Amino acid sequence: MSLSKKLGAEFFGTFWLVLGGCGSAVLAAGFPDLGIGFMGVALAFGLTVLTMAYAVGHISGGHFNPAVSFGLWSAGKFETKELLPYIAAQVVGGIAGAFVLYLIATGKAGFEVGGFASNGFGELSPGKYSLFSVVLTEVVMTFMFLFIILGATDKLAPSGFAPIAIGLGLTLIHLISIPVSNTSVNPARSTAAALFADTAALSQLWVFWAAPIAGAVLAGIVWRFFDSDN
């Protein structure tokens, strides 16, 4: 598969993740009487990954997340030469998704941008959690997300079911960590939301690059012990 096709798949996969996941939070979570709440948002994020993994995962591998690309790279499952192009496609796709969401959301009279589903610690944390709690959460949750991805896509795992395990894994991660950090585990998703947020989210964005990537790289290193190819 050509690199251009892979990057296109990563663009659209991340576009859908941000539009669907962040869109559910911005447009539907608190809608009067019919709001889906944070459980609905968690499911929405899981469904975006599940659906796009089936749609374009066979083209690009279905990363849709710089941390996933770094984790697969550290596990020896992804080529170094494609790492930066993938991350660029993911970030641009995420920003495009957030831009479309912004255009939709601002079409409602009286809409206030607010946090725009961005991530944060301290005053920007939904539950007002500290920087330490947020960093620990993002490292551990991303570690487990990569562990699920690497295990579900192993050659000895049941074929065809990986997107289900990965999507449900991401849903569970959101159910655990939305109150803490509003759940990132994805630097592209965090960047996209922070760019449009009417808060200080951009000043805290470094956390949501550093912590997920650290957790992902660590998972890739640990996975080498369990890898069926070793």
pTM assigned to the model: 0.95
What's the distance, CA 147 to chain centroid? Answer: 15
136 is written with which tokens? 């620990």
Please give the single-letter amino acid code of residue 10.
E
Task: Dump pLDDT digits (tens) for 30-68.
Answer: 776 677 899 999 999 999 999 999 999 999 999 999 999
Half-sphere exposure of 125 (CA within 13 A, CB side): 19
The per-residue b/e assignment along 184-221, b for 16 or more CB within 10 angstroms, e otherwise, is bbbbbbbbbbbbbbebebeebbebbbebbbbbbbbbbe
How far apart, in Å, are the Cα atoms of 144 and each of 63, 73, 112, 148? 15, 16, 34, 6
Taking alpha carbons only, the member of 230, 137, 218 closest to residue 181 is 137
- 50 in Cβ contact with 16 (< 8 Å): no
72 is written with which tokens? 């697969």
**Ranges of each domain in the chain:** 3-225
Neighbours of 158 (CB within 10 A): 10
**Which residue stretches of the chain have pLDDT < 70?**
32-33, 230
What pLDDT sits at residue 32?
65
What pLDDT sits at residue 197?
97
The fold adopted by the segment(s) 3-225 is: Glycerol uptake facilitator protein (1.20.1080)
